[in-house]
Amino acid sequence: MPQFYVTGNHEAIIPPQDFDRVQAELARRKTIGRGYSGNSVFASRIICGDCGGYYGQKVWHSNDPYRKIIWRCNRKYGRGEKCKTPTLDEETIKALFLKAYNLLMANREAVAEDCKTVATMLADTATLDRKIQAAKKEMDDVIALSSAYIHSHNADGEHMEEFEQQTAAYDEQYQKIGAKLNRLQSEKQERLFRSKAIMRFIDDMLERPLILEKWEDQPWNLLVNQAVVSENGSVTFTFRGENRITVRTE
């Protein structure tokens, strides 16, 4: 059982089969915010296991023949306690991905079945739907009670304080139920989003070769959600099917 875990200012024609994938990528980048950089396929995908921050691209020896592009935690040399996660070069990241990819594909059929089970469970929102309907009814009941109270009480000067306290209580109750309703609806949307993402992952995975011998951008872009780097140098890849595979250099 797996563990749980694009465009700029130009218009683009997106094939129907790719629309959901593009929307998922846009949503991912929106949650990242200003820290996102689209200059590399690794941007905003590699995460420091110490602080949870993103790895950023740096250039060593930029003006001499030993020029090298490396990735390290953006907070590594910030204030406070420094992160102990290692610096990685691009070739190491690619090699680690190939290792994780081939381990994933070694059990591809079993992974696909497990993912389908999880996607089906996530898509079953019957319990949430009942809670959502119950919350909506609670809100309607509060509205009815509040309206009846307002119409049956004259807010004269003598009882104004009591009137305001009671209407404020109804309003507070309504707001609390509304907040609960929003949480339930957000949870439902997240479950359905994850279910669709897992099903897309299955399709993408089954279209890939069983063994990847050299680096390609497309499998990384289609299959990987994030890669978390630990202090010991191991990297845990979370695939879009919510499967996690940990690998490390030899």
Q: Domain ranges for the chain, please list them.
A: 16-122+197-247, 125-194
Least confident residue range of 2-16, 82-96, 156-170: 2-16
Give the CA distances from residue 168 to residues 104, 135, 159, 175, in Å, rounded to whole numbers and listed in that order.
Answer: 57, 20, 14, 10
Supply the pLDDT for residue 94. 96
Amino acid 60: pLDDT: 77
What number of residues does the chain have?
250
213-235: average pLDDT: 94
Helix (H, G, I), strand (E, B) or coil at 225: strand
Residue 128 has pLDDT above 70, yes or no: yes
Please tell me the predicted confidence (pLDDT) of residue 158.
Answer: 60
Stretch 207-234: mean pLDDT: 94
Residue 191 or 61, more confident:
191
When pLDDT is cut at 50, 70 and 90, the band that residue 190 belongs to is very high
Q: Is the dihedral of CA 78, 32, 2, 214 positive or negative?
A: negative
Specify the amino acid at residue 75. R
105-121: average pLDDT: 96
pTM of the model: 0.72
Would you say residue 219 has pLDDT above 80?
A: yes
Measure the CA–CA gap between 235 and 164, rounded to whole angstroms: 59
The percent of residues in the chain predicted with pLDDT above 70, rounded, is 80
| Per-residue pLDDT at 61 | 67
Cα dist. 18→10, 32, 225 in Å? 17, 21, 17
Residue 82 has pLDDT above 70, yes or no: yes
Secondary structure string (H, E, C) spanning 77-125: CCCCCCCCCCCEEHHHHHHHHHHHHHHHHHCHHHHHHHHHHHHHHHHCC
pLDDT of residue 78: 66
Please compute the mean of the pLDDT values over residues 67-84 and round it to a whole number. 82
